[in-house]
Amino acid sequence: MSRQDRLTRAARGRDCQVRLPGCMNDTQTVVLAHYRMAGTCGVGIKPNNLQGAWCCAYCHDAVDGRRDIGIPRTELRLYHAEGAFRTIDLLIKEGILCP
């Protein structure tokens, strides 16, 4: 298990920022879901925590391919990327990250 830092801990109890259709925004299941992109991760290596979105279990399962919700993979990646940008914006507004 990876070591939690202030960015992963900040996800607890938050609103889901990925917001896929069907998302119930279960704040009890929100975690920092890493966006996987070539060159920033690999087998057993997660991307850095700035490359993550606050994501509920429903959305996390969909973007990680564990749940089929009928949305093409390319569109799921867009939802996830936009969720990561929304998460970064909130972290800056709350003073957790400095711009």
What is the distance between the alpha carbons of residues 70 and 21, in angstroms, rounded to a whole number? 10
DSSP 8-state assignment for residue 14: P
Per the annotation, the verdict on 80 as an active-site residue is no
What is the distance between the alpha carbons of residues 69 and 12, in angstroms, rounded to a whole number? 25
Count other C-beta atoms under 10 Å from residue 67's C-beta.
14
Catalytic residue among 10, 18, 20, 34: 34
| Helix, strand or coil, per DSSP, at residue 79 | helix
Which of 61, 67, 59 lies closest to 84 in space, CA to CA?
59
Quote the tokens at residue 7: 């960015």
Report the catalytic residues.
34
